[in-house]
């Protein structure tokens, strides 16, 4: 019997919590990228890339020369980063005119124009690499996330990111996950309690018999607004963890058969998250076991930058070419 068949026939223990909030699969509405965060990231990027200005553009280009540039796709994908591209250009030329032709979260084809900018040529070229680096990475994340999300359509599971992000770029990368139809896990260590194996080892002193009481003590200290999740790496840990009243239980590196068994054992008493060794080749099978959430570090930690280019033409007769 395969794991999917097991899921439909496994016994359902009593005691499911009626108040458990549903996990809605599918893409969530896109959030707004806070302008202050984007500006801080761009400021740091320009300090790194042009700490004392762009001496190449300043030497070669007349101060008042203007140019039009198009962000053009060299390969197909899902776009993310329109506000970042715009802010990068405007940071170098406050009077730059920026046009977005492909909305965030929408697909584009090879050769398609995605965004356009007209402004001072020096400013456009100074902003070029920073704008490209960020939009290429964000679009790569959105594109890869869309592929993961496509593979689990109709299963009732959602795909989420992790904290395995580029230092300093987490807000942009999490936004890109949303553009690809994925969901976000906790933003930072300050947002939720997620007890992993090392936490549990210290908390219990290595004594499994202390697990329920130790976690219940943690639960009693938390405000009602704080989400409490615990990672387990064996079937035997599930009941002691559930007895402490956790909100989500993470089944780490479980086989498909173990996931089916774990989902049946939890039986709605907590949300069930699958984590570990998730890839494009395995996610569909994992989703069919009945888990609610599948967290995928690969959405952000190992993407290849999408090939986008900035094609520049000198403005003629005061109009765009």
Q: Where in the sequence is the domain holding 52, given as residue range(s)? A: 35-146+304-314
If you average pLDDT over every residue of the chain, what do you get?
A: 90
Say if 185 falls within a structural domain.
yes
Which of left, alpha, beta for 84 (phi over 0: left; psi -120 to 50: alpha)? Answer: alpha
| DSSP codes, 274-292 | EESS--TTTHHHHHTTT-S
Residue 1 has pLDDT above 50, yes or no: no
Indicate if 160 and 114 belong to the same structural domain: no
Say if 321 falls within a structural domain.
no
Active site residues: 129, 164, 196, 231, 252
Indicate if 160 and 14 belong to the same structural domain: yes
Residue 5 — very low, low, confident or very high, per pLDDT cuts 50/70/90?
A: very low
pLDDT for the residue numbered 22? 63
- Number of structural domains (the chain) is 2
Indicate if 168 and 295 belong to the same structural domain: yes
Residue 230 has pLDDT above 70, yes or no: yes
CATH number at residue 59: 3.90.1170.20
Each residue's pLDDT tens digit, 250-300? 999 999 999 999 999 999 999 999 999 899 999 999 999 999 999 999 999
Residue 65 has pLDDT above 50, yes or no: yes
Indicate if 16 and 160 belong to the same structural domain: yes
Indicate if 216 and 75 belong to the same structural domain: no
Residue 165 has pLDDT above 50, yes or no: yes
Residue 19 — very low, low, confident or very high, per pLDDT cuts 50/70/90?
A: very low
Each residue's pLDDT tens digit, 174-193? 999 999 999 999 999 999 99
Indicate if 119 and 234 belong to the same structural domain: no
Indicate if 79 and 124 belong to the same structural domain: yes
Residue 86 has pLDDT above 80, yes or no: yes
221/194 Cα distance (integer angstroms)? 14
pLDDT for the residue numbered 7? 43
Q: What are phi and psi of 299, to 5 degrees?
A: -60, -35
């Amino acid at each position: 019997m395969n794991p999917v068949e097991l899921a439909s026939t496994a016994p359902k223990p009593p005691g499911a919590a009626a108040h458990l909030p549903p996990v809605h699969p599918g893409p969530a509405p896109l959030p707004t990228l806070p302008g202050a965060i984007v500006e801080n990231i761009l400021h740091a990027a320009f300090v790194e890339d042009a700490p004392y200005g762009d001496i190449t553009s300043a030497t070669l280009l007349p101060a008042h020369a203007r140019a039009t540039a198009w962000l053009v796709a060299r390969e197909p994908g899902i776009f993310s980063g329109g506000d970042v591209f715009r802010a990068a250009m405007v940071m170098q030329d406050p009077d730059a005119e920026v046009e977005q032709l492909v909305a965030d979260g929408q697909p584009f084809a090879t050769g398609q124009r995605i965004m356009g900018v007209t402004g001072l040529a020096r400013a456009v070229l100074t902003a070029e690499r920073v704008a490209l680096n960020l939009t290429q990475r964000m679009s790569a994340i959105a594109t890869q996330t869309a592929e993961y999300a496509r593979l689990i359509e109709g299963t009732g599971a959602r795909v989420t990111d992790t904290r395995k992000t580029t230092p300093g770029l987490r807000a942009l990368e999490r936004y890109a996950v949303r553009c690809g139809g994925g969901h976000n896990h906790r933003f930072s260590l300050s947002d939720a309690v997620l007890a992993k194996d090392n936490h549990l080892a210290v908390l219990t002193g290595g004594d499994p018999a202390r697990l329920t009481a130790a976690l219940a003590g943690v639960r009693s200290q938390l405000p009602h607004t704080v989400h409490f999740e615990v990672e387990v790496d064996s079937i035997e840990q599930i009941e002691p963890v559930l007895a402490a009243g956790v909100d989500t239980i993470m089944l780490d590196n479980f086989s498909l058969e173990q996931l089916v068994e774990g989902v049946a054992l939890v039986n709605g008493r907590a949300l069930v998250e699958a984590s570990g060794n998730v890839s494009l080749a395995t996610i569909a099978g994992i989703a069919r076991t009945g888990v609610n959430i599948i967290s995928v570090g690969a959405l952000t930690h190992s993407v290849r930058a999408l090939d986008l280019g900035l094609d520049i033409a000198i403005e003629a007769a005061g109009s765009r070419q």
